[in-house]
Amino acid sequence: YYTAKELHFGGVYANSLDGVSDRDFAIEFLGAASLIMVHLSRLSEEIILWASEEFGFIILKDNCSTGSSIMPQKKNPDVPELVRGKTGRVFGHLQAMLVLMKGLPLAYNKDLQEDKEALFDGVKTVQACLETMTILWREGLEFRTKRLASAVAADFSNATDVADYLAAKGVPFREAYNLVGKVVKTCLAAGKLLKDLTLPEWQELHPAFAEDIYQAIAPNQVVAARNSYGGTGFEQVRQALADARKRLS
């Protein structure tokens, strides 16, 4: 106990054989590190997609990207691609530790020297990825708000809100759901969006529609309506950000 106290350890192993042969702490860390990398990798994939020409939701700034060796107009999303790639590296360290331990008898074996590379590199890799992704979000991205607004204004992502609108007017949801499916099909055939329908066209589909249907399917209102706890509405997102900052402070 004296050594543990002097080194400020939380406790001591109750069994000396376990003390020299156990590597659960390394496996548990690499398991947690792998989960961190899963989330960083998924976020990286989103950024890569958003920065592509097909989406065009963000612009990668020069301090977090490089140019193509052959295409002068292209910016390579270096940070998210490298983080996504290094995720497999951390997964590999976890798998290596599990395979290393599975066949060892009790007490110390020289095989355990292999734990250092997996553990130390795992720490270094996760730390570097967290730091670079933080820099990317703080300094390396510019959101194209007009492009984002035009994207949500040019699809049928507000179709559910039409069904919700009818349900709020007393129409059974099953009936509203089926009706909206027909409305979308009609719009697709005519090359229209829901917002392009005239009020007489809406009312021909169902008499419950009124002038306020246009407000109900406006993109900002569609988002704002998701205001239940944990939802994606503006107020809920602001609250989630405030809670996260509080936990980190």
The arithmetic mean of pLDDT across residues 180-190, rounded, is 93
Q: What is the pLDDT of residues 113-169, one digit of tens each?
A: 999 999 999 999 999 999 999 999 999 999 999 999 999 989 999 999 999 999 999
Phi and psi at 169, nearest 5°, equal -90, 5
Burial of 37 per CB tally in 10 Å (0-12, 13-18, 19+): buried
Indicate if the pLDDT at residue 213 is higher than 90: yes
Q: What is the mean pLDDT of residues 195-221?
A: 95
Per-residue pLDDT, averaged over 88-100, amounts to 97
Asked whether residue 71 carries a pLDDT value surpassing 80, the answer given is no
The pLDDT of residue 210: 96
3-state secondary structure the chain: CHHHHHCCCCCCCCCHHHHHHCCHHHHHHHHHHHHHHHHHHHHHHHHHHHHCCCCCCEEECHHHCEECCCCCCCEECHHHHHHHHHHHHHHHHHHHHHHHHHCCCCCCCHHHHHHHHHHHHHHHHHHHHHHHHHHHHHHHEEECHHHHHHHHCCCCCCHHHHHHHHHHCCCCHHHHHHHHHHHHHHHHHHCCCHHHCCHHHHHHHCCCCCCCHHHHCCHHHHHHCCCCCCCCCHHHHHHHHHHHHHHHC
The answer to whether residue 188 scores a pLDDT higher than 90 is yes
Q: Is the pLDDT of residue 70 over 90?
A: no
Q: Is the pLDDT of residue 106 over 90?
A: no
Per-residue model confidence (pLDDT) at position 214: 97
CB burial class (10 A; 0-12, 13-18, 19+) of residue 103?
exposed
Tens-place pLDDT, residues 146-156? 999 999 989 99
Sign of CA dihedral 249, 35, 83, 94: positive
| Tokens coding 2 | 């004296």
Q: What is the mean pLDDT of residues 4-14?
A: 91
In this structure, how many other beta carbons lie within 10 angstroms of the beta carbon of residue 1? 8
Enumerate domains of the chain plus CATH numbers. 2-149 (1.20.200.10), 151-248 (1.10.40.30)
pLDDT of residue 18: 86
Judged against a pLDDT cut of 90, whether residue 98 lies above it is answered with: yes
Q: Are 33 and 90 in contact (CB under 8 A)?
A: yes
Confidence of residue 75 (pLDDT cuts 50, 70, 90): confident
Per-residue confidence (pLDDT) for residue 121, from 0 to 100: 98
Task: Note the pLDDT tens digit of each residue in 40-57.
Answer: 999 999 999 999 999 999
pLDDT of residue 51: 94
Calculate the average pLDDT of the chain. 94
Percent of all residues in the chain with a pLDDT value above 70, rounded to a whole number? 100
